[in-house]
Amino acid sequence: MIPIGDGPDSTPRRPLRHALVIGGGIAGLLAARVLSDHFERVTLLERHSLARAPAPRRGVPQGAHVHVLLARGLAVAEGLFPGLAEELRAAGAVQLNSGRDLLWHHSGGWRARYDSGLDFLSMTRPLFEAAIAGRVRARPNLARREGVRAEGLRGDRGGAVTGLRVRSPDGGGAEEIGADLVVDAAGRGSATPRWLAEQGFEAPPAEILPARVAYASCLFRPAGPVPWVGGVVVGGAPARRNGALFPIEGGRWLATLVGFFDEPMPRDHDAFLAFARSLAVPDIHEALRGLEPLSGIAHHAFAGSLRRRYDRLERLPTGLIALGDAVCSLNPVYGQGMTVGAIEAEALGRALGRAGREGGLGSEFGRLWFRSVAPVVDTAWAGVSLEDLCFPELAARRSVRLELLQWYMRRVHRATHRSASVTEWFYRVVNFLEPPASLFRPGVAAAALFGGTARRWPR
């Protein structure tokens, strides 16, 4: 991890008086909470409105679909908002054990079932977002500006960013807001690359993994007694059809079906059931037959993972950083986005703590910031690449090294069908609690390479 901050001989530093955050989604809310510990004032700008209730909101088209907050992400959020997990459980989030309560079919078999050391909360994204938005609104030095759009950077002649130009979306009057630090958490549609070019800086090079994904989701309620409460995931590239079913707040269930590339997605409930029946195993379809639909079919499309390589730029303006999907928008099938944003928010707290001890923001703060968060983005990006590049449509992008990793990971996946130990290590890596290198430890490697054939675990 590269430390944030300049040495004793660096240029003058900027004090920590006012910070601006663009975007009131999860990454922006977490960043604003961290900034409020280090700046005298923080202003959070949201083009639409902040979450106030556990329901999909305008500006978050993916909000109606299954989301997963991984263990590391929940730990970071709990650290920023003590008591949050209990608040979420009280609001109806369902606590599940990863090994015992999750049925996950991948690579031709079911991962082992056992009592895991990892629990997680099954809930909708809107419930999580509304809970942290409520906590953020309670911060005394944190102001919210809703219904405003950031239109460009305000800068000085030396190239430093000194704030933003903003306007209300209905065409209202423009204004300028000064700040010592601007944090772009506007998501995949971030305008920072264009703004950098307008300021005479190089825009970051972009990397794309064009695995197109379409989603169809529906809310359900039990038609009768529910004999078992847990999550079901059926997937794994190169399967072009995937699905997930989880219990959520309000005694409801949320089902999301996924189609890669040009798979036709269901538009009504009969087609929804037919799609579920077409998955590799019938378990989601069988579960849905005992549930009653509560909603229409919600849809969402994702063009592919996008990474903006700010970490490769040698020159950036002072007073500007980005995080979350504004830096890297990951294929949502793998459930990494909210947790990566949380880890970046945690890193921002460390960076600002160092800057505060050293007297303010140095001229290299932005450049070193992007390099400091590159390792966690690298990890998430590598995980997406391993899976998405299994599809024949993307075969030309595979390197020899990647093909070797895919060969090994196929064996790790099959080892999870029979070994609780390998499954636990796999879950810990997936949850950002252990580095990916843990899957090469001797016990895991021995089980993957010499452990025998897969079998379906009883449920």
Burial of 178 (0-12, 13-18, 19+ CB in 10 A): exposed
What is the distance between the alpha carbons of residues 403 and 211, in angstroms, rounded to a whole number? 17
Strands in 23-84 per DSSP E: 41-46
Residues 6+ apart with CB under 8 A from 48: 24, 57, 58, 59, 146, 147
Residue 451: the pLDDT is: 85
Query: Residue 411: pLDDT band by 50, 70, 90 thresholds?
Result: very high
DSSP 14: B
Q: Domain 212-302 belongs to what architecture?
A: 2-Layer Sandwich (3.30)
Residue 226: the pLDDT is: 86
Q: Tell me the backbone φ, ψ of residue 417, rounded to 5 degrees.
A: -70, -25
Contact call for residues 56 and 64 (beta carbons, < 8 A): yes
pLDDT at 11 over 90: no
Q: Where are the domain boundaries for CATH 3.30.70.2450 in the chain?
A: 212-302
Note the pLDDT tens digit of each residue in 69-96.
Answer: 999 999 999 999 999 999 999 999 999 9
- Which class would CATH give 18-67+129-208+307-385? alpha beta
Residue 2: the pLDDT is: 33
Compute the chain's Rg from CA coordinates.
23
Using DSSP's 3-state secondary structure scheme, residue 29 falls into helix
Q: Where are the domain boundaries for CATH 3.50.50.60 in the chain?
A: 18-67+129-208+307-385
Query: Residue 7: pLDDT band by 50, 70, 90 thresholds?
Result: very low
Residue 59: the pLDDT is: 85
